[in-house]
Amino acid sequence: MKYYSTRDRSTSVSFSAAALNGLASDGGLFIPQEIPQFSPSVRSSLGTMNFIELAFETIRPYVHEDIPDSVLGDMVESAFNFPAPLVPVDDRFVLELFHGPTAAFKDFGARFMARSFAYLRRNEDRELHILVATSGDTGGAVADGFFGVEGIAVTVLYPKGRVSPLQERQIAGLGGNVSAIAVEGSFDDCQRLVKSAFVHPELSRRLNLSSANSINISRLVPQSVYYVAASALAKSGRYSQDGKATPRMRGTGEGQRAVRDGRLGKDVLFCVPSGNFGNLTAGLYAQAMGAPIAGFIAATNINKTVPEYLASGVYQPRPSVATISNAMDVGAPSNFERMTAHWSYEELRKNIHGFWVDDGKTKETIARVFDTSGYVLDPHGAVGWTAVDQWLSAKEDPVHPFAGFSGPVAVLGTAHPAKFAETVEPLVGPVPVPPSLAEAMGRTVQSVTIRADVEALVETLLTLRS
């Protein structure tokens, strides 16, 4: 598989170059020249493979020229050493993606990326410097994924005061090869600073810079795996009963259960709580590869750039607004360029239905779903849940994509509710904390604060790394 830049189809680079460089030299994002397809034999046996086998089959076509099969097999086995259960709740499913070390779905991408970088750079002497901007969860997952990896230093930029205390400890509490910079500004400022660092002449001369945001293709591809796995499970009429992470105290109603289970055996409609749209793009890749996916609901908070684009055809990025689902506070989604490089507006509009949800509705949903089913949603999953409710009330209107859809609906549970205890607990009471989060809470924050200014960043990076 070769990769080209979204801005120049004549570039042609290996997976290794695309992953290690992060961004193309023209500022574009790397995309595969074509999205691979599962062979008919793999496709017909998706429903019988386990998660690790599915991970291998999904990722292999993207990387096989650079990563031998035996190495890839070990990588997926050690990266994905936690479950991704498809859990029945009321009339739908929640695909719980928060059982990894930082309790957010970004562990899937970050853990695979760290392992692939370590392998791809096995013969390099010069230290690689990963620069990553985060609105909350990326930083923690990347820091955790790369912590202790030799030959690689990581610096995470996060918007000061706009991440939760736990997120800040996950980002800035590790030390070692991981440094943290608190930027006096928004996530968009952090992202802008990272982008300008990459094209800064002195920095690029002195540091061997790479990115780790969801723009990195090595983070995107592994995120396709759970879409393949969950859709294959539901298509073969099954789901997991073993999601234990959040309390489910009361049973769900018989009627709702029958509705939900009657939908199994068909292609799945996924609802994806979205910010930079890396997760949703990974879902589009999984669908294009041949996974049994009917389409997508794109759920955002008030940062509704993409739902508006899907409704109107006009793309109008804008500054981000702070919300309680802060990992989705993105006004100019970085993967939009990738989505539109692969698919036209017409194609996207038929395959993705966009909804946006404000903080008030998000809180109402957390309280209501807990009341009716005992299930605790985090604010991001709750945006997704609410978007499904909105879609259900609009869905019979024939102007909408998926009118009359009768298959299973799965909301992606992108973070554990204990990560957002300050929002969730006033609504539902105490939320049990998983051990990985309890450990992180005990760490001390060590970060440098800078103003949202490229020169301040350059100076800090050169001091940190000299």
Ligand X SMILES: *Cc1c(COP(=O)(O)O)cnc(C)c1O
79 phi/psi in degrees, rounded to 5: -70, -45
Using alpha carbons, list the distances in angstroms from residue 203 to 144, 151, 163, 195, 463: 25, 18, 27, 12, 12
| Least CB distance to ligand X at residue 219 (A) | 9
- Among 85, 101, 139, 273, indicate the residue that binds ligand X (CB under 6 A): 273
How is residue 295 written in tokens? 């389409």
Give the CB-nearest residue to ligand X. 137
Q: Nearer to ligand X by C-beta: 383 or 461?
A: 383
Binding mask 42-71 for ligand X (x = CB under 6 A): ------------------------------
- Which residues in 338-377 contact ligand X (CB under 6 A)? none
- Which residues in 442-461 contact ligand X (CB under 6 A)? none
Largest CA distance in the chain: 65
| Least CB distance to ligand X at residue 84 (A) | 14
- Among 102, 164, 274, 305, indicate the residue that binds ligand X (CB under 6 A): 274
Range in contact with ligand X (rule: CB under 6 A) among 198-206, 267-275, 393-401, 402-410: 267-275
Q: Nearer to ligand X by C-beta: 42 or 280?
A: 280
Q: Nearer to ligand X by C-beta: 46 or 433?
A: 433
| Least CB distance to ligand X at residue 55 (A) | 18
| Least CB distance to ligand X at residue 140 (A) | 9
Using alpha carbons, list the distances in angstroms from residue 237 to 44, 242, 260: 14, 16, 11
Q: Nearer to ligand X by C-beta: 277 or 391?
A: 277
Distance CA 77, CA 84 (A): 14
| Least CB distance to ligand X at residue 412 (A) | 8
Give 31's strand partners: 4
| Among 234, 224, 238, CA closest to 266 | 234
- The beta strands (E) that lie in 134-233 are given as 152-159, 178-184, 209-211
| Least CB distance to ligand X at residue 326 (A) | 9
Give 8's strand partners: 5
Distance CA 405, CA 407 (A): 6
How is residue 274 written in tokens? 């979205």
Binding to ligand X by residue 279, rule CB under 6 A?
yes
CB 343 within 8 A of CB 284: yes
| Among 451, 461, 440, CA closest to 168 | 440
Q: Nearer to ligand X by C-beta: 21 or 191?
A: 191
Binding to ligand X by residue 276, rule CB under 6 A?
yes
| Least CB distance to ligand X at residue 275 (A) | 4
Q: Nearer to ligand X by C-beta: 412 or 461?
A: 412
| Least CB distance to ligand X at residue 240 (A) | 20
Helices (H), 292-378: 305-312, 336-342, 345-351, 359-373
How is residue 202 written in tokens? 């002195």
Sign, CA dihedral 341-343-346-348, equals negative
Q: Nearer to ligand X by C-beta: 210 or 276?
A: 276
Q: How many chain residues are in contact with ligand X, going by CB under 6 A?
A: 18
Q: Nearer to ligand X by C-beta: 138 or 373?
A: 138
- For the chain, give percent helix, strand, coil, nearest 5: 45, 15, 35
Binding to ligand X by residue 380, rule CB under 6 A?
yes
Binding mask 145-184 for ligand X (x = CB under 6 A): ----------------------------------------
What is the Cα Rg of the chain in Å?
A: 21
- Which residues in 287-306 contact ligand X (CB under 6 A)? none
Give 104's strand partners: 415
Q: Nearer to ligand X by C-beta: 179 or 274?
A: 274
Distance CA 407, CA 262 (A): 8
Q: Nearer to ligand X by C-beta: 38 or 105?
A: 105
| Least CB distance to ligand X at residue 112 (A) | 15
Distance CA 241, CA 243 (A): 6
| Least CB distance to ligand X at residue 415 (A) | 3
- Among 54, 63, 75, 104, indicate the residue that binds ligand X (CB under 6 A): 104
- Which residues in 107-146 contact ligand X (CB under 6 A)? 137-138
* Strand ordering across the sheet containing 209-211: 209-211, 128-133, 152-159, 178-184, 448-451
Binding to ligand X by residue 415, rule CB under 6 A?
yes
- Which residues in 203-222 contact ligand X (CB under 6 A)? 214
Distance CA 279, CA 45 (A): 25
Distance CA 206, CA 302 (A): 40
Chain contacts with ligand X (rule: CB under 6 A): 104, 106, 137-138, 214, 273-280, 327-328, 380, 414-415
